[in-house]
Amino acid sequence: MTTTTSGPPATTRLYQAGKVVEEGFPPERIPALLRRHPDAVLWLDLLDPEEPDLAAAQEIFGLHPLAVEDAVQDHERPKLDRYSEHLFLNVYQVRVATNPPSLHKTEISAFILERALITVHKAQGDLSTLTSRWDADSATLGAESGVAFLVYGLLDVVMDAQLDAAQKLDRAMDSVEDELLKEGGAPRAVRARGFDLRRTLAMLQRGVAPMPAIVTELLDIGAHLHLSDQLKPYLRDVQDHAQHAAETTEMARERINGLLDADLNEQSNALNDITKKLAAWAAIIAVPTAVTGYFGQNVPYPTSGTWLGVVVSALLMLGAAGGLILTFKRKNWL
């Protein structure tokens, strides 16, 4: 449930033993609720706040000024920073379309504290997917009462979306692969789709490539998160998804680059064939032209020396030229 305040829209939940005990409360009630529920952890989500909007949370939780600055700035790189009072995480949730290829990214910053997960969505995102994942996980991870339960759910949603996007783009290349490898090169529309796929994959890779290292670092500093033995296998599964997404994206980029290079080589080969044919015909025609031109040879033909002859010769030249134009257009030489 989203709470409307004088600041940015805020979504709040209080979890105890993996289950919601309070939600939809205004941020002003956070200190009192944390005192009332000493074993509970908080989730606070803010939509595109400015630095003054984070002032209250900064005072309550001791957020580092540099982390606050990163949380309100757009297009930060994916990373995990350590501060004395908390961790700062920056990731990208993605959604991909394949026809035409495009990528929508939602940047999410997160302050990871001992009793709170504060997330900052820098654009409107689908919070229902995240809350549904936490609700579903409460059945298997209900005993996990720490903030690590919330961090795992966030990373699981992010990595599932990134892996799904990488696999969709990889499958989308199947539709252009055969066309790009055709003899003579692919049509312009197919090449344009290939370039769109490559650009979309490059955008995805910027969000995906750092994730395996980030999840690995979270596992290495599990003591800071109070990471339980029950939760560690689930976070390792997220690590595996992160590695899979990174490898799929990298292989897909190499694949589309190889296909576009192969298409370029095929176009070059086709151009060379056309050039050889034109050069051959030019050489064949040049010999009699040179001989007759050198000797000034003119041969009488029917209707020569009359106006009808002028018309016949003009029609022959136009017909021959028109025939060559149509032939070259059918062969895509013009």
**pLDDT at residue 106, rounded to an integer:** 94
pLDDT of residue 280: 67
Indicate the burial class of 241 (C-beta count within 10 angstroms; 0-12, 13-18, 19 or more).
buried
User: What pLDDT was estimated at residue 244?
Assistant: 96
HSE of 325 in the Cβ direction (CA atoms, 13 Å)? 6
Say if residue 120's pLDDT is above 90. yes
Alpha-carbon distance values, 10 to 6, 24, 88, 185 (Å): 10, 9, 19, 54
Q: What is the DSSP letter of 42?
A: E
- Produce one character per residue of 304-328: b if its CB has 16 or more CB atoms within 10 Å, e if not: eeeeeeeeeeeeeeeeeeeeeeeee
Q: Residues 6 or more apart from 233 whose CB is under 8 A from it?
A: none
d(CA 219, CA 171): 32
pLDDT digits (tens, 9 = 90+) for 295-308: 555 667 677 677 78
The pLDDT of residue 112 is: 95
Model confidence band, residue 284 (pLDDT cutoffs 50, 70, 90): low
Mean pLDDT of the chain: 85
Residues 38-77: tens digit of each pLDDT: 989 999 999 999 999 999 899 999 999 999 999 999 999 9
**What amino acid is encoded at 245 in this protein?**
A
